[in-house]
Amino acid sequence: MAEAPHLFDEPAAAQPDPVAGLIRDLIQQLGEDPSREGLLRTPGRVADSMRFLLSGYDVDVDEVINGAVFAEPYDEMVVVKDIEVYSLCEHHLLPFYGKAHIAYLPRGHILGLSKIPRVVDVFARRLQVQERLTTQIADALHAALHPHGVAVVIEAAHLCMMMRGVQKQASAAVTSALTGAFQNDEKCRSEFLSLIGRTSFPVR
């Protein structure tokens, strides 16, 4: 039987955060002094921030959707638009942000509306490129609902283009992913575009 800890025993020392240690080294390598007052707690803050921004790796999209798919004989288009998107570009670790517009045509089942933004967050909170993010959202919803089709459009501004590189602050990237009827039926595509206030899909 293990001996109970003595009342006055010192608590075990907390293990150093390896991510914070890497951030501290980075700050130093970039020519700053991580021991100065304003930067003392920065490594820990950045480590916590990165863990939150990349928390999608620890989330299973099936668990997010689980229990929120309902049998329903609704057969008209369901659209959730202007979903805020925040992600990190995998090329420069700089943010890109914007809005996602998502639609699906039910085939006997609907998804709880709050789950659609949650699916977006599962994939947005990973190191990403906008093109992959768009496709992952569409594929996940199609696999969960087996609808007649899914459409996803993301419009986003990329700080890697705005703050560095070409430095074009007014630029935005638009990507789309279509499955089923949205690929094959011009009427479906036109209705979706009208509902989200666009006149065309990105040129492929």
pLDDT of residue 5: 60
Taking CA atoms, 196 is separated from 40, 112, 154, in Å, by 46, 20, 11
Residue ranges of the chain with per-residue pLDDT less than 50: none
pLDDT digits (tens, 9 = 90+) for 78-107: 999 999 999 999 999 999 999 999 999 999
Q: Tokens 């089942």 label which residue?
A: 109
| 15 has catalytic annotation | no
pLDDT digits (tens, 9 = 90+) for 135-152: 999 999 999 999 999 999
In DSSP terms, 158 is beta-bridged to: 96
Domains and CATH numbers, the chain: 18-53 (1.10.286.10), 61-196 (3.30.1130.10)
| 92 has catalytic annotation | yes
Report the Cα 14 to chain-centroid distance in Å.
Answer: 31
Active-site annotation holder among 28, 90, 146, 183: 90
| 101 has catalytic annotation | no
